Amino acid sequence: MSHGPRQRQGDATEMTTHTRQGAQPGGGRAEGASAAQHRAAVQAIQRQYAAIPPGTKIRLAKKTSNLFRFRDQNTAPGLDVSAFGRVIAVSPKDRTAVVGGMTTYEDLAAATLSHGLMPLVVPQLKTITLGGAVSGLGIESTSLRNGMPHESVTELEVLTGDGRVVTATSGNEHAALFRGFPNSYGTLGYALSLTIELEPVQPYVHLRHFRFADPDECMRAVAAIAADGSLAGHRADFVDGTAFGLDEMYLTVGAFSEVAPWRSDYTRERIYYQSIRGPREDFLTIGDYLWRWDTDWFWCSRPFGVQNPLVRRLWPRRYRRSDTYRALVAFDRRHQLMSKIDALRGKPATEAVIQDVEIPIEEAASFLKYFLTDVGMSPVWMCPLRLRGEQTWPLYPMHAGQVYVNFGFWGAVDLPPGARDGHYNRRVEEKVSELGGHKGLYSTSFYPEHEFWERYNGPEYASVKRAYDPQGRLADLYDKCVKGV
């Protein structure tokens, strides 16, 4: 195995910004123009927040979202968070960055890759924000090595529910907020800036796709990668998988590489997920690898016709991206266009089953068999993960050292006669609980309230909520994630 971390040439002693302003190294707050702009933005948003009358629903004025809890449009003015959508500083020497909480990973990756660095975990979709990935959890193919995005945060600046701006770390007086922020979904406060760790990259990623015909065999291979850091001699800097059926699943193992005999491009006519079933070896630039899933929203661009060769040629490349498709889905949800068309055609009612769940590796094959048999939706994304260290996170209880597999499934299935919306989603929730797993809360949830708080540590949440939002100005986690408030 020849791929090793690359040391970037040149001066790596100064912290830089996009305007090359000087800054304080060592992970501290950057000084200079960008830091001054950030301080002014913090003061401005505090004034905005204080001006909102008590009892008024508080929301963020964001152009994009990656949540799948669709609600009625709120016409009330939201907090203007646009000033927090930039990278404040990058320190090549310390391999850290100070980043506005509303910065998209598209912009963050661009800023860090220019220094030969990347965040330790880069979620798959370009418009996911750093603050969103930390407060709502995130995952990707480095998660077996590096855990989740919040685990590489060293400092968190938060506008709390009671209007304060506090800086939380794992060891200061706001440590409970630091630990409780992941999986709080903006119900304790909003991340204004975060200091994160970075890791070095190489220019290319060398991929190998390993096929399996049995879920148990596939999960044994995941366990082997977790133990050895490689599969069949190919180092696993990145690992994820795709299940097309119970007899056809693939683990895609990627290794950093300084060279690439060829480079594939899946932003044009070719489609990434389809390539997994083709040649067993591939090379991508590191940038194209990070966004390999975004162009076709994994495989979810299919309903829009974008995977039809003729439509694909006519569809502008700049609109072949996840935020375009998500906006189209949101428009359809608001107006119920497809539901009305399906009703006129006499088609059965459908249920959107859009979830990510984490299952302990020992039960992962059982879950995959259940899902592909009972729900019958494919493909299914598979992403192994493990907490990065001994630190655990109370609102999303996972065990240190335990290997999990994230299963992601996003689509709609026909409801059985007489069944109501939530039929399949609730069955999935019950199966996940039965197998000792957890599910992410970015989409619809159907938990009864008592079960929800058992699963997501209600006592700890209540304690942090009392400390940082005693008047309940921000929505409660259950109200937001289940009731849709």
- Listed by start position, the domains of the chain span 33-200, 202-292, 336-446
CATH top-level class for 336-446?
A: alpha beta
List, for residues 222-266, the tens digit of each pLDDT value: 999 999 999 999 999 999 999 999 999 999 999 999 999 999 999
Are the CB atoms for 468 and 163 separated by under 8 Å? no
Q: Looking at residues 9-18, what average pLDDT do you find? A: 42
Asked whether 415 and 351 are in contact (CB, 8 A), the reply is: yes
Q: Is the peptide bond before 379 cis (omega within 30 degrees of 0)?
A: yes
Higher-confidence position of 411 and 15: 411
pLDDT level of residue 409 (50, 70, 90 thresholds): very high
CB proximity list for 127: less than 8 A, separation 6 or greater? 64, 66, 104, 105, 106, 322, 323
Identity at 235, one-letter amino acid code? R
Q: Cα(26)–Cα(91) distance, rounded to whole angstroms?
A: 8
Query: Poorest-confidence range of 8-22, 338-352, 458-472?
Result: 8-22
* Range in 70-74, 184-188, 427-431 the model is least confident about: 70-74
Q: Which pLDDT does position 77 carry in this prediction?
A: 62
Could you tell me the end-to-end alpha-carbon distance of the chain, in angstroms, rounded to an integer? 51
Q: Which CATH number fits domain 33-200: 3.30.450.40, 3.30.465.10, 3.30.420.480, 2.30.42.10?
A: 3.30.465.10
For residues 476 and 6, the model is more confident at 476
What pLDDT does 485 receive?
A: 78
- The one-letter code for the residue type at 338 is M
pLDDT in tens, 354-404: 999 999 999 999 999 999 999 999 999 999 999 999 999 999 999 999 999
> How does the average pLDDT of the chain come out, rounded?
90
Q: How far apart, in whole angstroms, are the C-alpha atoms of residue 157 and residue 299?
A: 36
Three-state helix/strand/coil letters over the chain: CCCCCCCCCCCCCCCECCCCCCCCCCCCCCCCHHHHHHHHHHHHHHHHHHHCCCCCCCCEECCCCCCECCCCCCCCCCEECHHHCCEEEEECCCCEEEEECCCEHHHHHHHHHCCCEEECCCCCCCCCEHHHHHHHCCCCCCHHHHCCHHHHEEEEEEEECCCCEEEECCCCCCHHHHHHCCCCCCCCEEEEEEEEEEEECCCEEEEEEEEECCHHHHHHHHHHHHHHCEECCEECCEEEEEEEECCEEEEEEEEEECCCCCCCCCCCCCCHHHHCCCCCEEEEEHHHHHCCCCCCCCCCCHHHCCCCHHHHHHCCHHHCCHHHHHHHHHHHHHHCHHHHHHHHCCCCCEEEEEEEEEEEHHHHHHHHHHHHHHHCCCCEEEEEECCCCCCCCCCCCCCCCCCEEEEEEEEEEECCCCCCCCHHHHHHHHHHHHCCCEECCCECCCCCHHHHHHHCCHHHHHHHHHHHCCCCCCCCHHHHHHHCC
Residue 2 has pLDDT above 50, yes or no: no
Q: What b/e sequence results for 115-126 when a residue is b if at least 16 CB atoms lie within 10 Å of its CB, and e otherwise?
A: bbbbbbbbbbbb
